Amino acid sequence: MLTSPNQAKAKCVHCFASTYVKNDLLTEAKTNINQIEILDKQEQKLKKKYHTILKRCAFADDFTIPASIAEGEIQCQMMTYALKQRIPSSVFQVITNNYYSSCFMIQTGLVQLKTQCPQCSNKVRLCQNPVLGDFDYICKCGENWNFLDRTPWKECGFNSQRILTIIIMFLIGCRDVEMKKILNIYPRQLSHVTNLVKTAISEHYIKNLPKFRGVVEIDESAFKLKKKPGTTRSTEKWVFGLYERERKLVYMEIVKNRVATTLVPIIQKICEPGTTIVSDQWASYNKLPDYGFPHYTVDHSRYFVNPHSREIHTQDIEISWGWAKYEIRRQNRCLFDLQKYLHLYCWKRQFKEYQDKVAEVAMLLKAFCAIFKEYQMGEKKVEV
């Protein structure tokens, strides 16, 4: 189809204007690229100058620690200072300040300070990072790294302030969805921190669990799973639980079935010989006296408490089931890694304070810090 001379002229004018605009954009892009290259070179020079100043300050023999830390000022010889830094008594003030969070993690053992460089084995110095508000290691060989690097916390990619916030929120029972929304973080990063907390507590709980004694209530309960459409997996997991009345200790373990050959060995493992066992009338418990465990039962089809003795009941373990299911399902609806969550619940149960929740959180955090310090020492032994 032929076009008129006027239409052809209009198209030529449009093409000329487009070409002119394109050339202007290319020229502007080249100018911007050159400016970026110049800024990159300046940034590299400033980085070299910054690290040179750090090294000079880090190995100055006549350096003295000031009474207070000025913002943006490079500090050296900080190991002793970080260990003695006075931290606010309010947890909120600690987790809203990255420097205080870093000092808290160092003082409580959540981060183990290093004294030798992994490259040259020379002595390293700790200095304050004025950008992040925490600490860096500096070595004469030129190595420098953040104090959270080469620690179990490195993989999550968070600063100490965020790590400490996640630990506290997880210990008090916040859900993953709530933490992701409040802190604006990715699920993979969050799961790394929470898995570390769960693993450390679970290993400590099993390792330090005392033998149950006195009167112990036992029972089994089903934790129902959220079944997805089209799947054939089991919709429940059976858990066997024991509750010691004297010290209010709880132990829960996933079991394949509820027969005597499965349940009795667990009782023998957890309880001292001669411990008095109180249960319902499940047939698997009938031969407990033959294994050296005095056994009393309550008929749940008729009573909650034995009418002949008010001490014969399983109310404490029943209440524990209710709280365990509530707390675990809040944080783990699909019941993934259920055994570790059971250990976490049983460990937290011993710190339960119904009257003073602030004291309860403080005890939980203090106990976890001691556990994680021990957990890191165990990891080092395994690596060696």
May I ask the CATH architecture of the domain 209-350?
Answer: 2-Layer Sandwich (3.30)
Record the tokens describing residue 228, joined without a space. Answer: 């997805």
Predicted pLDDT at 59: 40
Q: At what angle do helices 338-349 and 315-331 cross, to 10 degrees?
A: 120
SS3 153: coil
- Residue 100 DSSP class: H
Predicted pLDDT at 245: 93
Interatomic CA distance for residues 78 and 82, integer angstroms: 6
Task: pLDDT tens for the chain, 384 residues: list them.
Answer: 445 545 544 556 666 666 667 777 778 888 888 888 888 888 877 766 665 655 444 444 333 333 343 333 333 455 777 788 888 888 888 998 999 999 999 999 999 888 888 888 888 888 888 778 888 888 888 788 889 988 999 988 899 999 999 999 999 989 888 999 889 888 888 999 999 999 999 999 999 999 999 999 999 999 987 666 666 565 789 999 999 999 999 999 999 999 999 999 999 999 999 999 999 989 999 999 999 999 999 988 888 887 888 888 999 999 999 999 998 888 887 788 899 999 999 999 988 876 788 888 889 999 999 999 999 887 655 343
Predicted pLDDT at 86: 86
Predicted pLDDT at 4: 54
Domain extents in the chain = 209-350
Alpha carbon distances (Å) from 298 to 79, 278, 280: 60, 8, 5
Q: Which of 250, 384, 270 is nearest to 324 (CA)?
A: 250
Record the pTM.
Answer: 0.75
Backbone angles phi, psi at 297, to 5 degrees: -130, 160
Predicted pLDDT at 61: 37
